[in-house]
Homo-oligomer: A and B are copies of this chain.
Amino acid sequence: MNKNRLEAFSDGVLAIIITIMVLEIKVPHGHQWADLEKLIPVFLSYILSFIYIGIYWNNHHHMMHTVKHVSGGILWANLHLLFWLSLIPFVTGWMGENHFEKQPTALYGIVLLMAAIAYFILQKQIIKVQGKDAILAKALGTDIKGKISPALYVIGIAFSWYLPWVSGVFYIIVALMWLIPDARIERILAASEH
């Protein structure tokens, strides 16, 4: 299995996910500004999900940069990650249309959590192929962001039963934390080239 193929397919799926989400913002029948008002929560959740898919695309490629051989384990771990990300348009629509009610907000967090776990499994599969001393293992280091994120999602999900807006704040915090591109891998990669 060729690495370029895996990247191209993942790129394709992510590009489609990020774009079809906009289909959840249904064109309203009226033409007044008021007709747009009820779309504001859908729009806000669209922005959040757009950023998340952007982050996953970005980090996915930093990570894939370190991969030379694609094993069966990497291939299916990658499809597993894409599976959870493919549910994001659905949970984005459900959360937005229900104005951040508790159940949809919890489910949104659950899908983010599952995607984070899937990403973690993919990392493990890559490191397994590369060995413990490999580039990715070094680049990740203690992988603080990777460990904190699931914890923050869990807290966010827990809050959704009482104060769903707090959940939203947690999801935003994780996004902001990752918006800073993963300089770790780039640094190590650059170093390994010298």
Contact = CB atoms under 8 A, between A and B. Distances in A.
Interface of A: 1-2, 5, 7-9, 11-20, 22-25, 27-33, 36, 47, 50, 54, 57-58, 61-62, 65, 72, 75-76, 79, 82-83, 86-87, 89-90, 93-94, 97-98, 101-104, 107, 179-181, 183, 186
Contact of A62 (B1, B28, B29): B1
Contact of A27 (B28, B57, B90): B90
Contacts of A82: 18
A107 B57 CA distance: 29
User: This chain: how many copies in the complex?
Assistant: 4
A187 to B, nearest CB: 12
* Smallest CB-CB A-B distances: 3 pairs: A12-B15, A31-B98, A31-B101
